[in-house]
Structure 1
Amino acid sequence: MKVMQLLPELNSGGVERGTLEIARALVADGHESLVVSNGGRLVPELEAEGTTHLTLPIHKKAVSSLWQIRPLRKLIEQHQPDIVHVRSRVPAWLTHFALKGITVEKRPHLISTVHGFYSINRYSAIMTQAEKVIAVSNSVVKYITDHYKNCPPEDIVRIYRGIDPAAFPHGYQPSAQWFQHTFQDFPQLENKFLICLPGRITRLKGHETLIELMEQLHTQYPNVHAVVVGGADPKKAAYLDELENTIQSKNLRDQITFVGHRSDIREWLAFSDVVLSLSNQAETFGRTALEALSVGTPVIGWDRGGVAEILANVYPQGKIAVDDKVTLLNAVKLHIDTPQQVAPVTQFSLKDMCDQTIQLYQQVLNQ
């Protein structure tokens, strides 16, 4: 098979990671893999793993992107993929128009993946207009069936995102060297019960809830420390200042540490005693929660979106009714008083995700 995946850019994020993972699996299975994007820092890795990258500026939500319809059509005609897989709205629209200019018998099969709970409008509806629509969780299946009635339910295929259990092995411990560096940089973290909130510094991730929680915990549990793992975009600097001021005003400066953007997220998840998932909006999947559970760290999170699905399957005692701060506090206290065990995770594997996606490609081709 020859499969062409389209996405805006290849810098970082879940869509990008999923594209690389499927590209790698296609090449490993002896298929031909093409990716069209505006480029980015993941291109060398993609190409080193055997995929052909075709650079086209299909990343801008602007009328000027319509100029890319003809060049995209030329690429499709030149490379003649069996399947075109769109993973984002601008590339999906451009592909929609590009395919219209190709005769039906020469047209590739079209598959889309709905990675997000997009705003509900005509612009987003394009993601549900393909032969098969991949939804990354049951929550996304529900989002599509609730809001896009034109998409036949039998065309929606749920394929959970997956992680590589070898990259997040159960019981993983960071190296002695890692601990040494970390305690050099953050001596306040040594010999503490660590509560970790991973994720970028944005209003969506529930930092205010974490601060409230620490305010309630710190007198009874002076040994508890919160660590926020995630950077702040320059545009979010004012929000970060706001959080810092709140922490200062509540005298929690010695109880909460921001460690910024990290590439060693596995180490931080394994180092932590509890990981929290407190987003104000449902997440479509919740990869970080799964990574934490995979290394054996308990996760406590709101009962919504993909995170709730992961918790229901892997660690149901970590699922808390949305915004129920009393139950959240009690759940965290229970974990401090009595350390909890997480069983090895046997679901949501990267291999399952890749196998199911490639099977879907083959199914569409054989129809």
Structure 2
Amino acid sequence: MPAPLTVMHLLPSLHSGGVEQVVLELGEGLSAQGVRNIVVSSGGSMVPKLKEQGSIHYARSIGKKSLFTLREVPRMKRLILKERPDILHLHSRVPAWVGYLAWKMIPADQRPGLVTTFHGFYSVNAYSKIMTRGQRIIAVSGCMRDHILEKYPRTPADIIRVIPNTIDPALDRYGYRPSDAWLREWHTMYPELAGKYTLCLPGRITRLKGHLDLIPILQGLREAGLPAHAVIVGEVKKGKTAYKEELVRAFDKAGLASCITWTGHRRDLRNVLCACDVTLSLTHVPESFGKTTLEALALGRPVAGYSHGGVGEQLNVFLPEGNVPPLDTAVMVDTLTQWYTYPPETPREIPPPYRREDMIRAHLDVYRELLPAIPEPEQKTT
């Protein structure tokens, strides 16, 4: 009986975040397909669930941006030789440096296939270029593929595969409704939302998410006589408390403090998206994908977002009228005002390649391309 396919993933940690969630979903899907799935990270709150789904976890300090992290390279080499993965999949830049240098130390005929994923629009420099060193490169959207080819023109186009992040149709489905008990608890916790036109802005509390754009948006909607109220869902990471305090002061100065609800991090985001009228994406720079907006669309909830990056791609496919010119809060106000009276028709089904099964199948196809592992790709000279 042949040994099962073994895949080893490297990422900084397993706390919260888009990359972590994708690795968790891959772990569940690959394990269900009989793959021996190994994840290496510094650990975090997601580890118990990862193990419960059938994956193996090794705790290694491979995510800190420090030259001292390179001391992990020999240990990583030993771990690769011990576990003998067929595929080494690198999901973030610092772990990618550790994994790639360890991979290079192994004799060529013993190396696993090497895969990297561009999960985000990293700064363009020699440090980020490590993500182009995979024998196969996964881009999470078409715009990410274009970004790679534009910023790293020596990257062979034929080794890039576009695999979008996805939703689970069994969970994120049109017509899903939170339980009555959950809704009662929600309204008890946030009574200020009763009778309001609720706008959900999910994501970590960072400047790039565009929270300050809520000021002209809420002001415009309220001037139009609409009972607009923003629901900000997301955690404040270490070092970002000053930014949240800045936001609180700005909302207060604008006279909008009573129009903002802060929920912090929520593990029941699916229910929160359903409980709000519209989900917003106000990022000031393009996002590589925009997983939460896809979840909202799959749930049949309207999404209005700036028309760039992965969110713009999604809206072009599923809800074109939700695309708003980047940073144009006046058009956003007009869109949301119209939707208050005439909500848009959202898609009743999310087709391939945006379903979880599509993502798992596509990754397996990429991994199989590298069995047996092929030589490291040559970078173009022009």
SS at match of 1:326: helix
- Residue 100 of structure 2 corresponds to 96
Shift of 1:234: 4.9
Shift of 1:244: 2.0
CA gap 1:68/1:215 in 2 versus in 1, 3 angstroms: same
Given candidates 71, 80, 83, the residue that maps to 1:79 is 83
Give the TM-score of the pair, scaled to structure 2. 0.92
Shift of 1:305: 0.4
Q: RCO greater where, 1 or 2, for CA within 8 Å and sep 6 or more?
A: 2
Runs of 5+ in structure 2 lacking a partner?
375-382
- Residue 44 of structure 2 corresponds to 40
Q: Where do residues 319-358 of structure 1 align in structure 2 (5 Å cutoff)?
A: 319-347=323-351, 348-358=354-364
Given candidates 127, 135, 146, the residue that maps to 1:123 is 127
- Residue 113 of structure 2 corresponds to 109
Most deviating of 92-101 and 68-77:
92-101
C-alpha offsets along residues 159-209 of structure 1, whole Å, 9 cap, x if unaligned? Answer: 111111222121222222222222222211112221111122221111111
RMSD of Structure 2 on Structure 1 (CA): 1.5
C-alpha offsets along residues 139-163 of structure 1, whole Å, 9 cap, x if unaligned? Answer: 1101110111221000111111111
Are the equivalent residues in 1 in contact too, given 2:216–2:329 (CA < 8 A)? no
Distance in 2, matches of 1:262 and 1:346, equals: 24
SS at match of 1:36: strand
Identity %: 40
- Residue 184 of structure 1 corresponds to 188
Amino acid at match of 1:153: A
Most deviating of 251-260 and 184-193:
251-260
Given candidates 196, 200, 206, the residue that maps to 1:196 is 200
C-alpha offsets along residues 260-281 of structure 1, whole Å, 9 cap, x if unaligned? Answer: 2222211111011111111111
- Residue 208 of structure 1 corresponds to 212
Are the equivalent residues in 2 in contact too, given 1:225–1:256 (CA < 8 A)? yes
Are the equivalent residues in 2 in contact too, given 1:135–1:159 (CA < 8 A)? yes
Distance in 2, matches of 1:43 and 1:334, equals: 44
Matched, 1:363 2:365: no
Given candidates 148, 152, 156, the residue that maps to 1:152 is 156
Given candidates 6, 20, 23, the residue that maps to 2:10 is 6
Amino acid at match of 2:334: N
Are the equivalent residues in 1 in contact too, given 2:217–2:330 (CA < 8 A)? no
Most deviating of 174-183 and 115-124:
174-183
Are the equivalent residues in 2 in contact too, given 1:26–1:33 (CA < 8 A)? yes
SS at match of 2:371: helix
Distance in 1, matches of 2:48 and 2:23, equals: 14
Distance in 2, matches of 1:211 and 1:109, equals: 49
Distance in 1, matches of 2:100 and 2:151, equals: 20
SS at match of 2:167: coil
SS at match of 1:122: coil
Given candidates 268, 275, 290, the residue that maps to 2:279 is 275
Aligned length, in residue pairs: 367
- Residue 244 of structure 1 corresponds to 248
Distance in 2, matches of 1:33 and 1:265, equals: 27
Distance in 1, matches of 2:205 and 2:94, equals: 26
Matched, 1:138 2:142: yes
Most deviating of 182-191 and 310-319:
182-191
CA gap 1:153/1:213 in 2 versus in 1, 3 angstroms: same
CA gap 1:166/1:153 in 2 versus in 1, 3 angstroms: same
Matched, 1:23 2:24: no
Distance in 2, matches of 1:25 and 1:248, equals: 46
SS at match of 1:53: strand
SS at match of 1:283: coil
Are the equivalent residues in 2 in contact too, given 1:293–1:345 (CA < 8 A)? no
Amino acid at match of 2:264: G
Are the equivalent residues in 2 in contact too, given 1:117–1:284 (CA < 8 A)? yes
Matched, 1:174 2:178: yes
Shift of 1:28: 1.2
Greater than 3 Å deviation, 4+ residue runs: none
